[in-house]
Amino acid sequence: MVQTKRVLVTGGAGFLGSYLCGQLLDQGHDVLCVDNFFTGSRSNVFHLLDNKRFELLRHDVSNPLYIEVDEIYNLACPASPIHYQFDPVQTTKTSVMGMINMLGLAKRLKAKVLQASTSEIYGDPEIHPQPESYRGAVSTTGPRACYDEGKRCAETLCFDYHRQHKVRIKVVRIFNTYGPRMHPGDGRVVSNFIVQALKGKDLTIHGSGEQSRSFCYRDDLVRGLMAMMATGDDFTGPVNIGNPNEFTIRQLANLVIELTGSSSKIIEQPRPVDDPTQRCPDITLARQKLGWEPTVQLREGLQSTIAYFEDLLSTGADSNNAGGVGR
């Protein structure tokens, strides 16, 4: 029998956070969802509002939060380049000040805190696939640095609070994730391609499209987060959570065209600054420590995600009022 806990999920109205809230409720926990709704959406948690064990609070984690909880999942931060580059200073504040506030809360409450870090801390990697021991190749001055360096600093804070104050930390490095409730205008490659294909527009790839990524389905990713939180205090991470099956961006585009039955063509555009050439997780540690690996492969996950976007677009929803990014 699972012991009922009061769990805080920051960024809980995002596409990952909202699904995590639902899974925690299904396990019998009380859930406090905190979001400032910059990229998250109330529509993502609307179906949870009648649950007496669910609370929704509008709050920005860059400001202190005074509550009582047993566990903290810190997912608060815009995760797509379009959104985190919109206000890069605030992005850094969210990662750094938000982390300080969540760690301070965990210290006071003796709560366990999980930081949703990112594969972006590896930058444009020189090692492939990327193990947790790799220290990365990250620009401190480029347009992506607000997110990359903010997340790297957040990891540093986690381990300093752990060493200095004995805070119970869990650090997870999330690789490319997709699934229902993604924001149709978040600028990420999966949502971009699906929306373009469903609208009969050309699919735009950066460069030749030979740069590679791995794509983890939302359900698998959240299962990994929960498995990490359930580990003992002797395992802090960081641990990679992602799907190690690697695809080029052009392969992804062709698969989306096939699954949507679209007549869209593929056109090339210049690559953004600091766009990684390769990104793929080494999940050996996750297999060993969490007993976790992904079970949903790309074709299956895309079919579910396409169905979500078909329904979203059929209602006339647009990028300003639908879906949520969150993380």
Closest by Cα among 83, 310, 78 to 194: 310
The catalytic residue among 19, 73, 122, 147 is: 147
Q: Could you tell me if 179 and 304 are in contact, meaning their C-beta atoms sit under 8 angstroms apart? A: yes
Q: Which two tokens stand for residue 75?
A: 């997912």
| Residues facing 268 on adjacent strands | 205
Assign 3-class secondary structure to 263-318. Answer: CCCEEEECCCCCCCCCCCECCHHHHHHHCCCCCCCHHHHHHHHHHHHHHHHHCCCC
- Which run of H or E residues covers position 6? strand 6-10
Q: Could you tell me if 205 and 149 are in contact, meaning their C-beta atoms sit under 8 angstroms apart? A: no
- 147 is an active site residue: yes
Catalytic site residues? 147
